[in-house]
A = this chain, B = another copy of it.
Amino acid sequence: MPERIKSKVDDAVLVARRRSQVIGASIQLFGKRGYYATTVREIAERAGVSTGLVYQYFGDKEDILFLALQTVLDAYKERIPRATEGIEGPLMRFRAAVHAYARVIDANIDATVLAYRETKSVGRARRDIIKQKESETNALIEAHVRDCIKAGLFEKVDPELITYQIVMIAHAWALKAWHWAGRLTVEQYVDRNLALLLHPLLTERGRRENLRLVSASA
């Protein structure tokens, strides 16, 4: 139950606009410098508002972080389903979801790093909400894994463990981007890792299907 952040302003449209303004600025700054090294003044400046205004829409600095983290995770939850819409076949949908996930992360490296670094900076209760949101994103991937198993394309492995590996692979891209920078694109990175990952997972039917997809896309 995403606990409500108190605002001193009533107009819901205005609240939404102002908050997204401030959160947008904060994601950039928190991601780049970290939560503590970023001042509310800086956030306000980048958002193009006054310091005082921030406190009309957020209770305190932690509220900003909390909503920023939620915003980041919500973006994942929203974009992955969109990427698989209208795609035929469970394996193809699985591949599309993973690629979408990695692409979202690549487009929001600051935000992803932020989620990693600063989740601990919010209080216990809120941290649990964040973790909950994270699990929901994972569930989006996990559903595709389960579908592939049901369709007899994947062996009967633990879907959670597989999902977990995928998530880690994607996050690793953000966390250690400096490591691969210039050597690999996201798509290449995902493809190679997917190849390794799928190898033991695919059933005979899955293997044929996968081959068809990969060669078709090549």
Contacts and interface: CB of A to CB of B under 8 A. Distances in A.
Interface in A30-57: 33-37
Contact of A165 (B158, B175, B193): B193
What does DSSP make chain A's interface, helix, strand, loop or mixed? helix
Interface in A1-59: 33-37
Interface in A145-194: 157-158, 161-162, 164-165, 168-169, 172, 175-176, 178-179, 192-193
> How many protomers of this protein does the assembly include?
4
Interface residues of A, number: 33
Contact of A36 (B37, B113, B175): B37
A196 B36 contact: no
A117 interface: yes
Contact of A34 (B36, B116, B172): B36
Given A33-B120, A164-B176, A196-B197, 4 more contacts: A34-B36, A162-B196, A164-B172, A165-B169
